[in-house]
Each structure stands twice: as structure tokens, then as C-alpha cells.
Structure 1
Amino acid sequence: MEAGELVEEVAEENKSLLWFLLKQVRPGMDLSKVVLPTFILEPRSFLDKLSDNYYHADILSLAQGVDDPYLRFKLVLRWYLSGLYRKPKGLKKPYNPVLGETFRCCWPHPESLTRTYYVAEQVSHHPPVSAFYVSNRKEGFVIEGSLLARSKFYGNSTSAILEGCARVHLLTWGETYITTAPYAHCKGIVIGTLSMELGGKVHVMCADTGYSADIEFKLRSFLGGSDQTNAISGRIKKGKDTIASIDGYWDGRIDIKDKKTGEESNLLDVAVLKEQRLRRFLMRVERQHEYESQRLWIKVSEAIANDDQIAATEQKTVIEEAQRERAKNLLSPWVPRYFQRDPQATAPEGIIDQGWRYNHANTSLSDRLSTPPHQPLSRSPWQPSEVLEYEEDFVITSQTGGRPPPPKPPRPDVRARLSDSDSRDELAARSKTHTRTVKQTLYSLDTALREQAATLERLTRAVETLSANQRAPALGRVPPTSHSWDLFGGFVLAMILQGLLNWLFYNKD
């Protein structure tokens, strides 16, 4: 095996499943309707897989803080390439999301004490389209996009193609960067060893500054050596003029060479980058909505983890049959919860835009001016009146000045509701809090401390009174013990609350 190549030996017991797959397909056909054997499945949804691009979202924080537009472009390019090296062991494919499936997570930024939030929804099943929205407005960026996933079979190989684009908005500068995605190419299905590479030409462009980059992901030739494995090359242009070249490996080191000076500089080094990866936080499975990815596919994932391919296939079939039954019973076209199709969506020549937009985002000045004061300015620059950005029920919004609203009471029907919390809960558990926002946390703690201080003061007065009465006994006096019981009850309540918080929340990298 050559360094950097993703390969997997197919076990004997799975070869019959592979031949079963081959019997379903013919060269050139779309694989979206083909039943895949579970041994090649990565135990997570494609909506989860798309979030791999944001483990280094703090690079975009650096970009929005740079004055030079060329340096900003290079940092956006560095962020884009940083989302490619994460890969499962062996050759795996994530689950195809069902219609209406959702996923959410967040990454805390330790230095700025902000969080990058990610929400995604499967907005179409035929064709399969995934829409997503990413936001950290205090750090100056939001990202929106939608991708149509399709596959093609070529005999001994297959390609997973993503048609669509993502738009990266640097809010401080009013700039939008459009990015496209490479395709995944799997070969050795019949003859040779199963292996996966990234291929195709991708674009990163910013019409606001005139900078763009075209990068080719090279497939290894039949007689190619290890120097061809995961190699990329490209160029950076200002308008029509090439100003720099790009060379390297998407899972290794990538360098930029200035055309005029010949000076080389490092754009990205995965060995260093891995040590700087942000930690990702998820909500506990039992608190997720019925159609959130992790909860929806949990039985399939558990079966795959236990190497029980029969159970995995059975549980996967249950989900797929339920999906078909839901589609059959629809009386009107499906309406996604959090995204809507923009009929006026346009893209530069050669770029496909699936046109799905997040329902809670504003971009233009007219949008900001027409937004009522009580609604969030989701994609305008961070406002002085805003205190904290957070996500609740898949709505990313911000807390403005003033006392935060009280928590919502829990609803009785857990299965029929969306969770009234979000990935901020896992972060709160690390600091021993349970609240919607940091401001609300501080307010709640302050209130509790004031109440305990008042109780302690009452107890002190009661002790002083008791001492005075002991020095001057009086008939019929009853010791004032209720205050001490109040204090004791407060301590017990605090211990119970702490144990509950430790049980409710967890974090996942």
C-alpha cells in the first residue's frame, strides 16, 4: 500500500454482498436507487459527514480580521482545503439521509469564547439534496450551501459527485466566496484492491475582490507512483492574471509559489493542522428529535459497530421502508422545516447552485432595514446590541441586550416535539451550568447566590435570637428551626441539580 492511499481488503464473507451489488447496476447508471451492502457504510449520515469542513472554522476568524484582500483570500483557501483530510478508516460511505432528516452540532472557539453552529436538513430525496447553514457572526462569517449527491458506476469503479456550491460570507468586509466540491472516486470494485481518491477540478472565487483559485484533484494513473497519490495542483488568479501556483497533497502539505518573485510559502500542513482541530459538541441522543441523524440511524450504527451485518441490514431496511411509506402517503409536496428554495438563485458561469437558503438568514442591506427590531440580523455584521449567538430548535439567532427570557417549561410529549435545547448544553455541563445563554447562566447563578445569602442571613439572625433567649428563658418558646432546614434543603437541591447536569450532557469530539 502506498502512503496516503485509502484502501480496504474485502472480507470473504462480504464478497457475495459485493456481487449482489454488481448485479443491480450497469455501466454509466446512477447509483442513488441501488441498495448498498452495509459493510461499506460509514456509521453516520451524509449530513454529519458534511460538517467535517468546519473543524477549522477558526481559520475564517483569522480571515475576517485581515485588511489585505489577497491574504484574506489565501486564508479562505486554507480553510477550504482544511476540510478534506478527515477520513474514515478503510473505504466507507455515509448513510443516504431520508427526507426531512436533520443534523446539528457546534464547535467552541477557546480563544474568542464564541461558537460556530452548524445545521443541516435533507430537503429533497429524489433527487437527493442536502442543505446546510453555518454561523459564527461574532467572528464575522456565515456559510450557506446545498449539494445534490449522485453516483455513477463505470464497471470496476464508481464516483460520488456533489453538484452545488457553498457561499462563505465574510460579514465585516461584505465579501462572498463561492466554493465547489471534488468528487470521490472508488476503484478496484471487481479487480484489484478497493481504494478511494478525490478527483475533479474545484473553484474558490470571490467576485468582490476579483481573486479566484482553480484546483485540480488528480487521480492516480494505472502505472502511477506514490507521488501521484492525493496530489493537487492549481493556480490563484486576480481577474484573468495568474499570480501564484498551488501544489501539494490534500492530506499532507500544500505550498503556494508566487509567480513574480518565485517565493514559496506553506499554505497548509495537515500534520500541524490536526493538532489545532476544534472539538465538536453534539446533543445527547435521547434529547434529539426523532428525525435527527444520530437518533434516526442509531440502531444501524450500533449493529455496524458490533460487526453484525445482518442486523445492520435489517435496521437500515426498516428506515428505508418507512421513508417509502411516508413518501407514498404525502398529499402535497414536501415542505422543509428550515430551508426554502430561492427561485431567483444565480451563480457564476460553470457553477451550479441548488438554490436552497436558510429560513433565518438575512444578507442584503434592504433585508436588514426591513427586519423588525425583535428579530435577529442573522447575516449582517455583528451589532453592538448583540450579546451572544446561540442555536435553539435549529434556529440560529442572537441574544440582544436586556434580561434574558425565562427557560421554556418542558412539554409532556417528548417524541412529538423538537428538543428545547441545543449543543450549548454540552458546553454548559463543563462549567457546571444549565441555561440557554451565558448571560442567562450568570443571571441564574446570581439569583441563586442572592437567595442563599438571604437564607444564611436569616439563619444568623435566628441563632442570635436563640442565644439571647437562652440567656433570658421564656415559657412557651419554640426554637426557630425552619430557617436551618431551608439552608439544608438548598444544599441538597444543589447536589441533586449537579448530578442531573452530569447525567444529561456529554461532549463528543
Structure 2
Amino acid sequence: MADSLKIRGTLKSWTKLWCVLKPGVLLIYKTPKVGQWVGTVLLHCCELIERPSKKDGFCFKLFHPLDQSVWAVKGPKGESVGSITQPLPSSYLIFRAASESDGRCWLDALELALRCSSLLRLSTCKQGRDGEQGSSPDASPSSLYGLPTSTTIPDQDLFPLNGSALRNHLENDAFSDKSERENAEDSDADTQDHSRKTNESGSDPLDSPGGPRRGTTYVEQVQEELGELGETSQVETVSEENKSLMWVLLRQLRPGMDLSRVVLPTFVLEPRSFLSKLSDYYYHGDLLSRAATEEDPYCRMKLVLRWYLSGFYKKPKGIKKPYNPILGETFRCRWLHPQTNSHTFYIAEQVSHHPPVSAFYVSNRKDGFSMSGSITAKSRFYGNSLSALLDGKAKLTFLNRKEEYTLTMPYAHCRGILYGTMTMELGGKVTIACEKNNLQAELDFKLKPFFGSSTSINQISGKITSGEEVLARLTGHWDRDVFIKEEGGGGTEVFWTPSEEVRRQRLKLHTVLLEEQTELESERLWQHVTRAIREGDQHKATQEKSVLEEAQRQRAREHQQSLTPWKPQLFHLDPLTQEWRYRYENHSPWDPLKDIAEYEQDGILHTLQRETMSGQTTFLGSPVSRHKRPGPDRRLRKASDQPSGHSQVTESSGSTPESCPDLSDEDFIPGSESPCPRCRQEAHRLRMLQEAVLSIQEAQQELHRHLSAMLNSTVRARQPSAPSLLQNPRSWFLLCIFLTCQLFINYILK
């Protein structure tokens, strides 16, 4: 189908362009000669709604539900730059047809093209899997239009973050035409109004402040400092200027002193918060995704152990300490899993300042795992060395298996403060235990001996046990190669190595857009200190850091004066287990028939479900709504994920709806009304029964957890105290022997 349509640009002015509709794409040209290409709209990621208008003609809108770009990177003939025209929006396009009949025809044709995009993606995936020898790389449909391959398109991008955002497109889009009518008339001379710029409300509704909130906007972090492997990045030579500052600081310290209240100079600070530091363990979260689907418990434990080791090789250059988080400080980020088209969300909050406690929660329900825990940072000064202890536990849960793994953390040890070379190491014994499978992994992070060589730094040893039986032993270096030797046969194999290939497989980190961060969010809170440290201005960094610390003391004084205790926003302390738990945690398994996508808004994790979307929007295409002006609840047209029964679209320039093929969409629309009322009633009854059973199971598990905690506390209270020295028979026996020997010696001496 091809015809001229008016398209509204970013400057609120209209221009007439030639639009050619193909299966899966909408080609836009400057003239009907199809020579001056403007752009290609990818329909597989778009949704279609009718846009009410008080002007002549018929308006409709194509938009991306996640506010991403809808344009292809190249043209149908490989063009990289389109023809010069007025700037067009990146995430949506508003079209105007000459008459309502033409607009209805375009709606029906676009709806069919949206469905054909599903067939296009399926056929492209099939061609990529088959890999026929006689096929040409340019023979795929996607290559004809310069489209990316289908494997690079996440399925979750086809769905909006919430139903309210879609309704916002329907409700708020009507205001832009009204404001345009008040400020400017629609001109048929399309290029005359390109420079006109209005101040009325005509922007995309998702960005309007009065509309419903959508999911948090995340941006990819391109730059990342991994540090060098080995001892190089863990050794630092202090300059003479900084040595004088350290001596002033060391005069205030005593051996065994807690350093949590000591203000450190800024030259030893790593330019990021400790809450961000704790997120280093999830750049290889795809290992947990694999572990969640692994059937063998022993292989599952090895994958968890491999993931645990993957969080240590990222190190700052030199000896650096992250910022101490401010009370109430939060940090949010996520990682994209390209293999499963899912996201791992990380949410952390500083829930206590004295002692400093950092609570965090990690979730990827689609891949079947979550993690929660809290870390209490403690530090001790020993004269020429100091240690930073991370007291606390983390619990990894595989949702589909109801399996929990309890993990502990090593401590950081810095030596050479007064004399020698300053070196940072990791030390201590850690455990990863799964009580359900009776499996446990033990790792011993060894400190470098006093007379040890360079190969003895960062050494690690450990074992995997099942009860008392040792299944495997591990040796190596925690920032380099780790080897495993299975008991009962077999040689030594490489268990984990942070090679260049492994580093390239790190998941891409996305952080919250700075404009959407709150005042107490890590990146925004410490931005001035971070900028000063990276510019080398230690004086300014110290000043900015003092401003934040004074603001924290002022907030503490205000809470004391108002007699209202401070409460964390995202976490709460369990009174029975004395553990910090995320307020909005969801440990229910992922239901692919019900759940669509997991998203985060204001630190709260939500799950978009099909029932929620069908309750807020009605998919067009049913016989009742076809060729009729939709009401407020019947405006949304959405691409189906199921293939259509029609294999191609007939190009037509007709302007009547009758020229479009008559389709039946009930096979394509999820949540559409079943033709059998009895079947629909039975399905509803079974769904309600399943939800009731799941809620009962969750209540039983919660009750079991509370009863276990109460039983443990009762046992500890009733546990008899250890017998005293005089009540021990062994002590009386040794005393008798001692007296006998004493008498014998006295007798001999006489």
C-alpha cells in the first residue's frame, strides 16, 4: 500500500511525505518517485492507536511502548543518511490522512503489516538456524530494508512497561491538536511552517508531567574500569604530599580502633559509592540464569561458585576505598541478558549509619533467581595494616526450585601503611551452602606470606563437599585462573579464568537517567565529589564531601528534634530473623502464560501481566470494533506475537475500507473472548484455583520460616550453660594427679 500522508515533526509542523507499506516496515520517501528516501519505520517494535483530532482528516499514531527508536539504521538500498526534511521524532510518528475512509484503510493495512512482522521474524530466525548453503546473505527479508537481524530484537521490547502508559497515549494525545488550533492553523504548504516552534502541550504523553508514571529510564554505561590482573593494580606508592596527610591521620589512630567514624582523605577514595561496589558481582549474572535451569544439584553448585568468583577480578587502579554511603542513600541499576531477553535488577539502600549497614536486593524473575542480603562494614587498625570486614550474609534463591544458597564475603586487608609497599589483598574463609541439597563450597582467600614471592599473592584454595564427603578441590588465584580437581578420578581442569573472551561477555550495565534520580541516589548525590576526584582536585573533593556529611548531620538533628525515627524506604527489618528484607520482594516463579515483563519504578519492582493489560486496554480487530470509530477503551491496536493466517499484503492505493481484506483476529489477540462460554468459565475457575493454591503455599512457607526462627531462639534460650571448671570430672582427675605428684616430690626431697 502506498499513498501520501502528512507527518508531524518535532517542531509541531506538518509535512506531506510518500509512505509505502511493506510487511514489517513502513518506508517513507520525499516524493512518489521513490528516489529520495527519508527513513524506515520498524513495525515489529511499534504499536498503533487512533489519535482523535478536531481537524479535517484522520489521525493515527505509531509509537514504541518503551520510548526507544522506531527507525532502521539503513535504507532499503543501504543508505545511511536520509533526505533532508524537517526533524522527525525518534520514538513515535503522528500521521494524518486526507479523509476518514483513507485513515481507516491505513489502520487496517498497518494492523495486517504488524502481524506480518511476526511472520517476518519467525522466517528470519528459521533461515538463520537452517543455514542453507545456497542462500545469499541478502536474501532475507530484513536485509532488503536495512533492518537488524531478528535475534537482536528483545521480545520484551514489544510490550509496554505498564497499561497506564498505553492509556496515557490515548487520553493525553488529544490535547496537542487543540493547542495547535489555538496557536497555528494547519497549512497545506508543508514546508512553510518547518521553522515554526510552539510552546503548547503537544509532546509525547509519556513525557508529560501530568500523565501517569512509567518505568524508570535506564541508560547504558559505556566506560568501565576493570583494572589489571595480578599484583600491579593492588600496589600503590604514596606521594610525599599525601604522606603528610596520612601521618596526621595516623596520629589519631590506635591499634584495634574502629575506623567507621574516621574521616579519610579523598585521595584514597574510589569515585563511587559502596552501594555501587556491591553490584560488581552481577556482570556475569548469565551464569545464574544457566544455574537456574541446571537439573544436576552438583553442577548447579559449580555454576553458582563460578559466578561468585566472577565478581572479584574487577579492581580499581591502586588502593582505593569507595564512599561511605549516606543514611538513606539508594542505588539502582540493571543488566540486560541478551540470551534470555531479560533484565537483572539491583536495588540497594543504606539502612543504618552507626553501624553502617547496606541492604540490597537482586531480582530476575524471568530467569528464575533472586538475591537479598545486608552487609555491615567494619574496619580495624593494627598499626602497619588495617582490615575492612564485611559482616553479613546474602541469600541466593532459585525461584522454580525453592532453593536457597547462603553466601559470606571475604575481608579486605591493607598492609604497608607505616613502612613497606602499600598492598591491598583479600583474606578469610567464605562458604556457599545449600541446606536443601546438603552441598557446601568453602573458599580460603590467603594473604601473601611475609617472605612470599609475587606468585603467592591472591592465592585461593577450597573444596566442594556433600556432608562429610569431598567432591572436588580448587586451587589458583581469585583474580586469575582457578583450577578444579574432581575426587575419584580425572585430572586438573580450568574452573574459572577472566580471559579476554570472558571479559567481553560481561553484561551491559544500565543505570538510572541522572534527571530521574532522587536527591539521595548515589550517582547524583556524589556527582560533585566524583567530578573533583577525576579532575585531580583533592581540595574541592574534600569540600564537597564535607557538604554532604554536614547535610547528613543536619537531617539527623531534625529527626531528633521532631522525635520521629528515620525509616528506610525500600527495606524493613524482620523482627524474628533480624534480617533486612526488601519490602516488595516477589519469590513466586515466573509464569510465561501470565507474566510479560519485569520493570522497576521508584525503586519498586513490578511485573506486567497480561490480565493487567487486557483490563486496561482492549485490542482492536474484533468484528464489533472493525470499521467503527473506537470509543475511549477501543483505540489500541497491538501487534500479535502469533503468526497470521495471511501470508502477504496486497499493495493498493484504494481509499475505501472495503478494499482491505476481511480478517478474523480472535486467533491472534491474547485475552480475546472465547467462543465457548463454558470453556471460558472453566478456565477462569482453574486460574482462580491456581492463584488460591499459590497464596496458601506462600503463607505456609512464611509460617514455617517464622516457626523455625522461634524454635531456634527457644533452643538457644534453653540451652544449658557449659559446666564450670570444678564441675568437670576431667578437671578433678587432673587435680588428683597433680597433688599426687606434688606429694611424691616432697617425699623425695625430704
In which range does the TM-score fall when normalised by the shorter chain?
0.7 to 0.9
- Contact residue 229 and residue 479 of structure 2 kept, 8 A: no
Q: Which residue of 2 aligns with 1:298?
A: 527
User: Among residues 565, 569, 584, which one is paired with 1:360 in the alignment?
Assistant: 584
Structure-2 separation of matches of 1:443 and 1:148: 48
Q: Give the drift of 1:274.
A: 1.3
Q: Which residue of 1 aligns with 2:143?
A: none
Structure-1 separation of matches of 2:452 and 2:270: 28
* C-alpha distance after superposition, 1:260-296 (max 9, x if no partner): 1143232211114212111100122222100000000
Q: Which residue of 1 aligns with 2:564?
A: 332
User: Compared with structure 1, are the counterparts of its residues 251 and 405 closer, same or farther at alpha carbon in structure 2 (3 Å cutoff)?
Assistant: farther
User: Compared with structure 1, are the counterparts of its residues 146 and 458 closer, same or farther at alpha carbon in structure 2 (3 Å cutoff)?
Assistant: farther
Structure-1 separation of matches of 2:249 and 2:583: 39
Q: Give the drift of 1:442.
A: 9.1
Structure-1 separation of matches of 2:373 and 2:528: 29
- Contact residue 333 and residue 512 of structure 2 kept, 8 A: yes
Give secondary structure in 2 for the equivalent of 1:139.
coil
**Is 2:431 aligned against 1:233?**
no
Structure-2 separation of matches of 1:311 and 1:405: 54
Q: Give the drift of 1:404.
A: 4.0
Q: Give the drift of 1:159.
A: 0.6
User: Compared with structure 1, are the counterparts of its residues 201 and 93 closer, same or farther at alpha carbon in structure 2 (3 Å cutoff)?
Assistant: same
**Is 2:315 aligned against 1:83?**
no
- Contact residue 47 and residue 102 of structure 1 kept, 8 A: yes
Q: Give the drift of 1:83.
A: 0.7
User: Among residues 555, 565, 575, which one is paired with 1:343 in the alignment?
Assistant: 575
User: Compared with structure 1, are the counterparts of its residues 401 and 2 closer, same or farther at alpha carbon in structure 2 (3 Å cutoff)?
Assistant: closer
Q: Give, as a single letter, the amino acid of the residue that structure 1 aligns with 2:429.
A: K
Q: How many residues are aligned here?
A: 394
User: Among residues 14, 38, 52, which one is paired with 2:242 in the alignment?
Assistant: 14
User: Among residues 325, 329, 334, which one is paired with 1:106 in the alignment?
Assistant: 334
- Contact residue 4 and residue 251 of structure 1 kept, 8 A: no
Q: Which residue of 1 aligns with 2:416?
A: 188
User: Among residues 135, 140, 157, which one is paired with 2:385 in the alignment?
Assistant: 157
Structure 1 segment 21-100 matched on structure 2, within 5 A: 21-100=249-328
Structure-1 separation of matches of 2:606 and 2:342: 13
Q: Which residue of 2 aligns with 1:412?
A: none
**Is 2:589 aligned against 1:381?**
yes
Q: Give, as a single letter, the amino acid of the residue that structure 1 aligns with 2:300.
A: R
- Contact residue 31 and residue 152 of structure 1 kept, 8 A: yes
User: Compared with structure 1, are the counterparts of its residues 9 and 202 closer, same or farther at alpha carbon in structure 2 (3 Å cutoff)?
Assistant: same
Q: Which residue of 2 aligns with 1:198?
A: 426
Q: Give, as a single letter, the amino acid of the residue that structure 2 aligns with 1:356.
A: W
Structure-2 separation of matches of 1:459 and 1:28: 86
Give secondary structure in 2 for the equivalent of 1:209.
coil
User: Among residues 593, 602, 607, which one is paired with 1:398 in the alignment?
Assistant: 607
Q: Which residue of 1 aligns with 2:231?
A: 4
Structure-1 separation of matches of 2:532 and 2:614: 42
Give secondary structure in 1 for the equivalent of 2:511.
coil
Q: Give the drift of 1:109.
A: 0.5
User: Compared with structure 1, are the counterparts of its residues 259 and 281 closer, same or farther at alpha carbon in structure 2 (3 Å cutoff)?
Assistant: same
User: Compared with structure 1, are the counterparts of its residues 406 and 51 closer, same or farther at alpha carbon in structure 2 (3 Å cutoff)?
Assistant: farther
* C-alpha distance after superposition, 1:449-498 (max 9, x if no partner): xxxxxxxx99979xxxxxxxxxxxxxxxxxxxxxxxxxxxxxxxxxxxxx
Q: Which residue of 1 aligns with 2:25?
A: none
Give secondary structure in 2 for the equivalent of 1:190.
coil
User: Compared with structure 1, are the counterparts of its residues 191 and 139 closer, same or farther at alpha carbon in structure 2 (3 Å cutoff)?
Assistant: same
User: Among residues 523, 538, 546, which one is paired with 1:317 in the alignment?
Assistant: 546
- Contact residue 53 and residue 80 of structure 1 kept, 8 A: yes
Structure 1 segment 165-314 matched on structure 2, within 5 A: 165-271=393-499, 272-314=501-543
Structure-2 separation of matches of 1:224 and 1:442: 70
* C-alpha distance after superposition, 1:191-234 (max 9, x if no partner): 11211000000010000101101110000011101221111001
Stretches of structure 1 lacking an aligned partner (at least 5 in a row): 346-353, 362-377, 408-440, 447-456, 462-509
Q: Give, as a single letter, the amino acid of the residue that structure 1 aligns with 2:567.
A: V
Q: Give the drift of 1:14.
A: 1.0
Q: Give, as a single letter, the amino acid of the residue that structure 2 aligns with 1:91.
A: I
User: Compared with structure 1, are the counterparts of its residues 318 and 405 closer, same or farther at alpha carbon in structure 2 (3 Å cutoff)?
Assistant: farther
- Contact residue 348 and residue 361 of structure 2 kept, 8 A: yes
- Contact residue 229 and residue 313 of structure 2 kept, 8 A: no
**TM norm structure 2:** 0.51
**TM norm structure 1:** 0.74
Q: Give the drift of 1:59.
A: 0.2
Q: Give the drift of 1:255.
A: 1.3
- Contact residue 2 and residue 226 of structure 1 kept, 8 A: no
Structure-1 separation of matches of 2:575 and 2:257: 29
Give secondary structure in 2 for the equivalent of 1:396.
strand
Structure-2 separation of matches of 1:3 and 1:252: 7
Q: Which residue of 2 aligns with 1:476?
A: none
Root-mean-square deviation (CA, aligned residues, Å) is: 2.4
Structure-2 separation of matches of 1:100 and 1:40: 24
* C-alpha distance after superposition, 1:397-454 (max 9, x if no partner): 21000464999xxxxxxxxxxxxxxxxxxxxxxxxxxxxxxxxx995999xxxxxxxx
Q: Give the drift of 1:332.
A: 2.5
Give secondary structure in 1 for the equivalent of 2:290.
helix
Max Rg structure: 2
User: Compared with structure 1, are the counterparts of its residues 332 and 445 closer, same or farther at alpha carbon in structure 2 (3 Å cutoff)?
Assistant: farther
- Contact residue 230 and residue 479 of structure 2 kept, 8 A: no
- Contact residue 594 and residue 611 of structure 2 kept, 8 A: no
- Contact residue 152 and residue 158 of structure 1 kept, 8 A: yes
Structure-2 separation of matches of 1:445 and 1:15: 66
Stretches of structure 2 lacking an aligned partner (at least 5 in a row): 1-227, 617-635, 642-651, 657-750
User: Compared with structure 1, are the counterparts of its residues 405 and 189 closer, same or farther at alpha carbon in structure 2 (3 Å cutoff)?
Assistant: farther
Structure-1 separation of matches of 2:300 and 2:366: 17
Identity, % of aligned pairs? 52
Q: Give, as a single letter, the amino acid of the residue that structure 2 aligns with 1:141.
A: F
Q: Give, as a single letter, the amino acid of the residue that structure 2 aligns with 1:297.
A: W
**Is 2:363 aligned against 1:135?**
yes
Q: Which residue of 2 aligns with 1:426?
A: none
Deviates more, 1:398-407 or 1:169-178: 398-407
User: Compared with structure 1, are the counterparts of its residues 443 and 339 closer, same or farther at alpha carbon in structure 2 (3 Å cutoff)?
Assistant: farther
Structure-1 separation of matches of 2:460 and 2:440: 16
